[in-house]
Amino acid sequence: AQTVTQSQPEMSVQEAETVTLSCTYDTSESDYYLFWYKQPPSRQMILVIRQEAYKQQNATENRFSVNFQKAAKSFSLKISDSQLGDAAMYFCAYRSPNFGNEKLTFGTGTRLTIIP
């Protein structure tokens, strides 16, 4: 079974600075999908960014980018130019490519605080 670990329960960053959230995972599969979701106090889970394991290029979405290290099974999220609206719980998630196993396996989350 796959597991996802987020070792930072809480992080804080000054507004406009850069912060990196860590995520590691364990799997025996060679192909898979990784996601970062954001959950603000409004509680809706919002997709931030996704990465296909077969792609060597790191995914980027505006101020959000990932550092995907397949051999190390590491998938960190970098937020540049942090904004107050980035304050939320951030969850890393794994998804198998196999039919019948489309569920997401989540880490325990990192609470990000933005300091004005």
Partner 1 sequence: EAGVTQSPTHLIKTRGQQVTLRCSPISGHTSVYWYQQALGLGLQFLLWYDEGEERNRGNFPPRFSGRQFPNYSSELNVNALELEDSALYLCASSFGQGAGSNQPQHFGDGTRLSIL
Q: Residue 78 Cβ, how far from partner 1 at the closest point, in Å?
A: 20
Q: Residue 4 Cβ, how far from partner 1 at the closest point, in Å?
A: 9
Distance CA 66, CA 80 (A): 11
In this complex, which beta carbon is closest to partner 1, that of residue 69 or of residue 108? Answer: 108
Q: Residue 45 Cβ, how far from partner 1 at the closest point, in Å?
A: 4
C-alpha torsion angle, residues 57, 58, 61, 62 (rounded to 10) = -100
| Contact residues: partner 1, CB under 8 A | 33, 35, 37, 42-47, 50, 52, 91, 95-109
Alpha carbon distances (Å) from 85 to 15, 59, 72: 10, 21, 31
